[in-house]
Copies of this chain bind each other. A is one copy, B any other.
Amino acid sequence: MKKNELHKTNPNVSVDSVILGFDFNQLNVLLINRDSHQNEEDKILALPGNLIYDNEDLDMAANRVLRELTGIKDIYLDQIGAFGNPDRISKKSDRKWLESIRAHPDARVITIAYYTLVKMEDFVPQPSSFAKSAIWVPLNKVEELAFDHSEILESAVARLRKKIIIHPIGFNLLPNKFTLSQLQKLYESILGRVLDKRNFRRKVLKLAILTQLKEKETGVTHKPASYYKFNKVKYEALVKTGFDNFAF
CB contact list, A34-52 vs B, under 8 A: 51-52
Which secondary structure dominates chain A's binding surface? loop
Bound-state Cα–Cα, A86 to B58, Å: 9
CB contact list, A1-36 vs B, under 8 A: 1, 3-7, 9-13
Choose among B5, B9, B56, B81 the residue that contacts A82 (Cβ–Cβ < 8 A). B81
Bound-state Cα–Cα, A56 to B9, Å: 14
Given contacts A13-B11, A13-B13, A110-B13, contact A51 B84 (CB under 8 A): no
Give A contacts to B, CB under 8 Å.
1, 3-7, 9-13, 51-58, 79-86, 102, 104, 107-108, 110, 112
Known contacts A7-B53, A81-B112; 18 additional CB pairs below 8 A are A1-B55, A4-B53, A4-B56, A7-B51, A7-B52, A7-B54, A9-B10, A9-B54, A10-B10, A10-B11, A10-B12, A55-B86, A56-B86, A57-B85, A57-B86, A58-B110, A82-B112, A110-B112
